[in-house]
Amino acid sequence: MTNGAQALIATLVGSNVRVCFANPGTSEMHFVAALDSVPQMRGVLCLFEGVVTGAADGYARIAGRPAATLLHLGPGLSNGLANLHNARRAHVPVVNVIGDHATYHKKYDAPLESDIEPLTDWTHGWTRRTDCGADVGRDAAEAVAASMASPARVANVILPADISWDDGAEPAGQVDPVPAAAPDPGAVAEIAAVLRSGEPVALLIGGPAAAAVRALEATDRIAAATGARVLVETFPARLVRGAGVPAVDRLGYLAEQAAFQLDGIKHLIVAGTRSPVSFFAYPGKPSDLVPEGAVVHNLAGLETDVVAALEDVAQLVAPGVAPRPAPAATPELPSGDLTPQNWVQVIGALLPHDAIISDESNTSGLLLPAATAGSPRHDVLTLTGGAIGQGLPVALGAAIAAPDRPVIALQADGSAAYTISALWTMAREQANVTTVLINNSSYAILRLELSRVGADGGGPKANDLLDLSRPNMDFAKIAEGFGVPATVAKTCEELAEQFRAALAEPGPHLIDARIPTLF
Amino acid sequence: MTNGAQALIATLVGSNVRVCFANPGTSEMHFVAALDSVPQMRGVLCLFEGVVTGAADGYARIAGRPAATLLHLGPGLSNGLANLHNARRAHVPVVNVIGDHATYHKKYDAPLESDIEPLTDWTHGWTRRTDCGADVGRDAAEAVAASMASPARVANVILPADISWDDGAEPAGQVDPVPAAAPDPGAVAEIAAVLRSGEPVALLIGGPAAAAVRALEATDRIAAATGARVLVETFPARLVRGAGVPAVDRLGYLAEQAAFQLDGIKHLIVAGTRSPVSFFAYPGKPSDLVPEGAVVHNLAGLETDVVAALEDVAQLVAPGVAPRPAPAATPELPSGDLTPQNWVQVIGALLPHDAIISDESNTSGLLLPAATAGSPRHDVLTLTGGAIGQGLPVALGAAIAAPDRPVIALQADGSAAYTISALWTMAREQANVTTVLINNSSYAILRLELSRVGADGGGPKANDLLDLSRPNMDFAKIAEGFGVPATVAKTCEELAEQFRAALAEPGPHLIDARIPTLF
């Protein structure tokens, strides 16, 4: 006999979902028990749902396919929503299994009862409530396919406890996701004409194009042949870069930076991303970052094979033109006390081959791209949706997806506190994550923003609310408390030595790097 | 000139809201700046929104009036939802101020953009989006009044950034909340008749009745005069108990316990709570905990002055009958290694006068009520909504509300990991919270539930997902990392000595108590 939970897990495995990040409760106990009947599914316990969903996001960014999550009713899902928001903005596949009360129990409005659908709807994804045991397999298979549509998305299966425990269910076969559309030849021709117009053009790419060397090469060929400026969206889900890959700058986070990068253009071509807007509104400043008078042209949205579209354009405007891979060139190892300027050089100098960087360094990482531009080829995973607390969970998930690759979490202090228990799961799973915790004892970005929004800041109460130095957090102790070996670095020499040592030893490590704030 | 943020904060202060638990972002910078212009508002920085909302809940349970929260857009609110769920089930007032993008910026769908209303609706509370600067004061005053209605609730003000920064706003005067209705004389008479019927009766009280000595005395007089069994709801928001207060058992969490407590009754009278239901569904077991054939009578819901209603009933059925206060009687101090049985005796023996217990000890606390029944009078704050991660934030909020009372957080390990950064705010605010961290290295309650739901447990993968010992968490180190002095206790003598010392010294302390699991 197969119960609903067993059929669900068997279906997920049959659809190539092999990892389930879980924080279960009573209503999920049959799912937990069923894990022993399906050996191909790996359960990874996390101590908070924000870690669960962030890890699923990181896993998907590297594996290119979804992990499952296991969440406990509405409140469990609610704890995971912020990182699902980031996953939604990253356009990655995630399959949430959300346990619910037994169908007949909901009407009693027991303490943990809540409406789950408004929360799943908030993920802008796909949702199915399984209300009949016979449908469990079908719903799970369709959820996986829905998550892998173009664009990829969050898929939610709400699983009542009695559906989970009732016998008589059957696994379902894999359902093929809707593939990305082929590029539109008309759009390709139009973009080629814009590029040949002789007017100043910028090409802004994102989504899968940022993660594909082929796309970056096509884009660079276009730039070489036409003089177009090329930029990557500000917060790509996954950006491949480093030696051997054409270098592309990211559009700046600050509107002032973006305005500088786009200054003077007459045409903005977007591919795999949207026309750029300011992250926040600022009094008297425009929200739309497209320079006045410039025309926006859409080459391909996320429903389209954007890599192929860029290659098609390159074929038209840059036949025979070769891409220009970035040369291998790493910074000198700096020395002396750590500063916002020199810590990134340590990373750039020592970054190992094929690394994955989970970057939630925020203001402290402003100089990171330059310092790592010629480092060995690596992937960078960024804070796509702006909901902080993503960096450590994403690093965990990436390490589960690619156990043989070194994962580097560059993590700001304020954001780290959101989902700090990710360290425990790193220890439990012996994930190869080296966390460099940039400990500047402040919400530095908010110090900057306080002045940028024109708030009459500077008052003692206002500044106190942006201050993390009362008391300073000792992240080395916190990490050790969660089972992760940790050290403290105050100089470049210490950071370099500890970073090398951490990379040389399997399993997670944390370096509590005491770095003054830029602001 | 007064901007929207200043008018909002001035209105809150004028409505007697004096504390704002905050985790701000860029869109809230003018609110942060405005704190310096309204000295009566205290800003309390928390490192995660689940701490913000849980602290507001704990504050309200003790202060009897709301704190404000400051949350950053939809994702910030989403992080606070689980503890708002608990606050909703606790029926306490909370006023959320949720910053949003500037009104004109929303259409750009910037990375942090999301629909906020589906999330505020999920709190089952009151929501107002302020879309005009002239309305800021009115909306804030109405929010406070809405939060303090009968029953109290979560009130949400969505504050766009431009409303916050635009000048020309004015504070508004206090709005009186709708008071609780007077008891219905017909219901009082009916209940009196039931109590005099001679048939077996149980009286289940909750809400404000559990927090009021007057209500407990009235209830005890009813019991003394009529032989009715008296019980408090399973998870009261605030229960006053100990020496000098009539002792009332709580309805058991496990359906089996509840069935035993209600066995044989013909009438169940409910006052300030609802007819009891099972926390979860279990295969083959009823969800409704009312014994078959028993009739449920509603004396007073939360819209009514339930304390007065109980006093009115007592006046009818127990005139001249005196309440029976619990005698002062504390356990002997036990000795030897800590066990699930003896740690509660240490607490019972040493509980100081007028303590507040924030109880998220879960399975480890099953024997706590008996051990503290004759301890000095104290308040117990429980996990009303079942969403774990509440205990430390609630303790923090209670300590802010009552700085002169000793707050004891009895905190299970698994749940502690959810909102562990509450410790940092305790250190920052020098909150008088003594946390006894019951570290049993497992989700013990789920071990129990795995068998109770009849899951074919016992498989190694299933049990591994309930195990927190790989690695063990060292909460003393974690606490020190967050700035809270901490010790480790393995014996009763150590726990007693450390507990005494912690209570004797101002500010927060954590005792990492290594106690084997019951299950």
Q: What is the DSSP string of B354-368?
A: TEEEEEE-GGGGTTH
Nearest to B137 by CA among B2, B4, B1: B4
Cβ–Cβ gap B461/A36 under 8 Å: yes
pLDDT tens, residue by residue, A300-314: 999 999 999 999 999
Cβ–Cβ gap A122/B114 under 8 Å: yes
B456 band by pLDDT with thresholds 50, 70 and 90:
low
Determine contact: A81 vs chain B, CB below 8 A.
yes
Cβ–Cβ gap A101/B47 under 8 Å: no
Question: Helix, strand, coil % (nearest 5) of chain A?
Answer: 40, 20, 40
Q: Would you say residue A441 has pLDDT above 90?
A: no
Determine which of A282, A461, A488 to mutate to test the interface with B (most B C-beta atoms within 10 Å).
A461
**Chain A partners of B474 at a C-beta cutoff of 8 Å?**
480-481, 483
Nearest residue of A to residue B389 by CA position? A48
Biggest distance spanned by C-alpha atoms of chain B: 70
Q: Would you say residue B242 has pLDDT above 70?
A: yes
Cβ–Cβ gap A481/B483 under 8 Å: no
Cβ–Cβ gap B478/A481 under 8 Å: yes
**Chain A partners of B112 at a C-beta cutoff of 8 Å?**
85, 279-280, 385-387
pLDDT at B364: 85
Nearest residue of A to residue B90 by CA position? A111
CB pairs under 8 A between A and B: 314
Identity of the residue in A36, A464, A465 whose CB atom sits nearest the CB atom of B462: A36
DSSP state of A72: E
Q: State how beta strands B154-160 and B433-439 pair.
A: unpaired
**Chain B partners of A470 at a C-beta cutoff of 8 Å?**
428
**Chain B partners of A48 at a C-beta cutoff of 8 Å?**
389, 417-418
Cβ–Cβ gap A110/B75 under 8 Å: no
Q: Residues 6 or more apart from A120 whose CB is under 8 A from it?
A: A77, A96, A98, A127, A156, A158
Both tokens of residue B251? 């309805």
A457 band by pLDDT with thresholds 50, 70 and 90:
low
Q: Which residue has the higher pLDDT, A255 or B125?
A: B125
- Chain A window 248-307: which residues touch B at a Cβ cutoff of 8 Å? 274, 277-281, 283, 287-288
pLDDT at A456: 61
Q: Would you say residue B64 has pLDDT above 80?
A: yes
pLDDT tens, residue by residue, B76-110: 999 999 999 999 999 999 999 999 999 999 999 99
Averaged pLDDT for residues A470-478 = 96
Q: Would you say residue B446 has pLDDT above 90?
A: no
Nearest to A11 by CA among A115, A157, A120: A157
* Mean of the per-residue pLDDT values of chain B: 96
Lowest-confidence region among A251-260, B88-97, B427-436, B474-483? A251-260
DSSP state of A501: H
Averaged pLDDT for residues B467-472 = 91
Rounded to an integer, what distance in angstroms lies between the CA atom of residue A446 and that of residue A299? Answer: 36
Rounded to an integer, what distance in angstroms lies between the CA atom of residue B254 and that of residue B242? Answer: 24
Cβ–Cβ gap B25/A446 under 8 Å: yes
The answer to ipTM > 0.90 is yes
Cβ–Cβ gap B161/A427 under 8 Å: no
**For chain A, first and last CA: distance in Å?**
63
Determine which of B453, B470, B475, B519 to mutate to test the interface with A (most A C-beta atoms within 10 Å).
B453
Identity of the residue in B81, B85, B474 whose CB atom sits nearest the CB atom of A480: B474
Q: Would you say residue B218 has pLDDT above 90?
A: yes
Nearest residue of A to residue B85 by CA position? A75
Q: Would you say residue B209 has pLDDT above 80?
A: yes
Q: State how beta strands B378-382 and B239-241 pair.
A: antiparallel
Cβ–Cβ gap B110/A279 under 8 Å: yes
Q: Which residue has the higher pLDDT, B440 or B359?
A: B359
Nearest residue of A to residue B84 by CA position? A75
Nearest residue of B to residue A52 by CA position? B418
- Chain B window 143-172: which residues touch A at a Cβ cutoff of 8 Å? 161-162, 165
pLDDT tens, residue by residue, A142-171: 999 999 999 999 999 999 999 999 999 999
Cβ–Cβ gap A122/B121 under 8 Å: no
Q: Would you say residue B135 has pLDDT above 80?
A: yes
Determine which of B23, B32, B290 to mutate to test the interface with A (most A C-beta atoms within 10 Å).
B32
**For chain B, first and last CA: distance in Å?**
63
Determine contact: A477 vs chain B, CB below 8 A.
yes
Both tokens of residue B165? 């920064």
Identity of the residue in B33, B114, B235 whose CB atom sits nearest the CB atom of A111: B235
Rounded to an integer, what distance in angstroms lies between the CA atom of residue B215 and that of residue B206? Answer: 10
Rounded to an integer, what distance in angstroms lies between the CA atom of residue A105 and that of residue A266? Answer: 61
Determine contact: A105 vs chain B, CB below 8 A.
yes
3-state secondary structure of A244: coil
Determine contact: A475 vs chain B, CB below 8 A.
yes
Nearest residue of A to residue B73 by CA position? A387
**Chain B partners of A162 at a C-beta cutoff of 8 Å?**
281, 283
Rounded to an integer, what distance in angstroms lies between the CA atom of residue A58 and that of residue A61? Answer: 5
Cβ–Cβ gap B482/A483 under 8 Å: no
Angle between the N-to-C axes of helices B391-401 and B49-63, in degrees from 0 to 180, rounded to the nearest 10: 50
Identity of the residue in A102, A455, A472 whose CB atom sits nearest the CB atom of B30: A455
pLDDT at B311: 98
How far apart are the CA of A481 and the nearest CA of chain B, in angstroms? 4
**Chain B partners of A274 at a C-beta cutoff of 8 Å?**
109
Cβ–Cβ gap A481/B481 under 8 Å: yes
pLDDT at A364: 85
**Chain B partners of A420 at a C-beta cutoff of 8 Å?**
420-421
Nearest residue of A to residue B161 by CA position? A281
* Mean of the per-residue pLDDT values of chain A: 96
A442 band by pLDDT with thresholds 50, 70 and 90:
confident
Cβ–Cβ gap B109/A424 under 8 Å: no
Q: Would you say residue B398 has pLDDT above 90?
A: yes
